[in-house]
């Protein structure tokens, strides 16, 4: 195991018209290869901002961060990660296959290889046969699966996911959580996952980073290894409930439940 993400004393202050906003303050975090790390916290705690800093979509204003041993920008230029947004963000004028092909086209991969990669990744997210459909012909859950296939299509080492199932109903979310876990076991990718759902974080993660707002900071990092081969049933087990309780306590101490 080696360190993929290494943040030291990371700070980010947005200058707004209402004065500076401390989005991130004094973040220290290491993520190892193959880990599944979740950021959890109330809105405004900086969890999405931290993910965007890792992805080089925001620049930190203080401290240092490395991704794969280089700066986030170099990592982005080397296409080190696939990013999954809150919404599926599929291009409506492209078919599902066309959407998965998008990063491959940008990266200059030949047609024959693209076709093969589309097929492979659609199979990975159980969407075989949907490549000719347009996004609006798919349900929200299927669209988000297609967007995961798109993020995986160029085989990045890391998957950055920003509340990918936040907009879906709980039944679909449970189902996708199970599928994501299988996908993670299958592909051995490092996953950084932003969520505001405690059961989701506990069910999926190997480590849970509890964050608190104003300024956005890490309150506590909780180890959470419920072993491989988890099923949804594990959520009624005492181990699961104990960790969920610990996360909730962490959130409470971080004033997440304050008015």
Partner 1 sequence: MRERTGLSGIFYDRVLPVGTVVAVIVVAWYAFAVLLNAPFERDQAARAGTEISTSQLVSNTMAQDRPVLPAPHQVASEIWETTALKKITSKRSLVYHGWITLYSTLMGFVLGTGLGILLAVLIVHSNILDKSLMPWIITSQTIPILAIAPMLIVVLNAIDLSRFLPDALAGTHVEYIVKDVLPKALISAYLSFFPVAVGMVKGLRSPDVMHLDLMRTYNSSRSQVFWKLRWPSAVPFLFTSMKVAVAISLVGAIVGELPTGAVAGLGARLLTGSYYGQTIQIWSALVSAAVLAAMLVMLVDLSSRIVMNRMGMAR
x/- mask, partner 1, residues 171-210, rule CB under 8 A, reads: ----------------------------------------
Give CB contacts under 8 A, 24+ apart, made by 122-130. Answer: 122/96, 122/97, 122/146, 122/149, 124/149, 124/152, 124/183, 124/186, 124/187, 125/149, 125/152, 125/179, 125/183, 126/179, 127/96, 130/96
Q: Does 105 bind partner 1 (CB under 8 A)?
A: yes
Query: In the bound complex, what is the minimum distance in angstroms from residue 89's beta carbon to partner 1?
Result: 5
Among 3, 70, 106, 185, binds partner 1 (CB under 8 A): 106
Query: In the bound complex, what is the minimum distance in angstroms from residue 212's beta carbon to partner 1?
Result: 26
Q: Does 41 bind partner 1 (CB under 8 A)?
A: no
What span, in angstroms and rounded, lies between the C-alpha atoms of 88 and 165? 9
User: Residue 129 or residue 227: which is nearer to partner 1 going by CB?
Assistant: 129
Q: At what angle do helices 96-106 and 111-124 cross, to 10 degrees?
A: 130
Question: Phi and psi dihedrals of 163, rounded to 5?
Answer: 45, 55
The interface with partner 1 within residues 57-96 (CB under 8 A) comprises 57, 76-77, 79, 81-83, 85-87, 89, 91-95
Q: Does 14 bind partner 1 (CB under 8 A)?
A: no
- The site for partner 1 (CB under 8 A) is made up of 55, 57, 76-77, 79, 81-83, 85-87, 89, 91-95, 102-103, 105-107, 134, 136
């Amino acid at each position: 195991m080696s360190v993929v993400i290494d943040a030291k004393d990371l700070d980010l202050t947005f200058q707004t018209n209402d004065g500076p906003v401390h989005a991130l303050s004094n973040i220290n975090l290491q993520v190892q290869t193959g880990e599944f790390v979740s950021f959890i916290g109330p809105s405004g705690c900086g969890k999405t901002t931290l993910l965007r800093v890792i992805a080089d979509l925001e620049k930190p204003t203080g401290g240092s961060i490395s991704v794969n041993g280089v700066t986030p920008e170099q990592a982005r230029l080397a296409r080190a990660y696939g990013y999954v947004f809150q919404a599926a963000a599929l291009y409506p004028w492209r078919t599902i296959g066309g959407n998965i092909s998008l990063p491959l086209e940008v990266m200059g991969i030949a047609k024959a290889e693209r076709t093969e990669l589309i097929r492979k990744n659609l199979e990975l997210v159980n969407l075989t046969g949907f490549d000719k459909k347009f996004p609006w012909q798919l349900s929200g859950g299927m669209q988000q699966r297609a967007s995961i296939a798109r993020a995986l299509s160029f085989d990045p080492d890391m998957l950055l996911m920003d509340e990918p199932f936040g907009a879906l109903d709980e039944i679909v979310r449970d189902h996708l959580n199970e599928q994501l876990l299988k996908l993670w076991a299958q592909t051995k990718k490092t996953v950084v996952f932003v969520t505001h759902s405690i059961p989701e974080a506990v069910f999926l993660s190997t480590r849970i980073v509890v964050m608190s707002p104003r300024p956005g900071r890490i309150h506590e990092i909780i180890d959470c290894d419920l072993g491989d081969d988890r099923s949804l049933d594990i959520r009624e087990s005492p181990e699961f409930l104990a960790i969920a309780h610990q996360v909730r306590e962490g959130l409470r101490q971080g004033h997440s439940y304050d008015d």
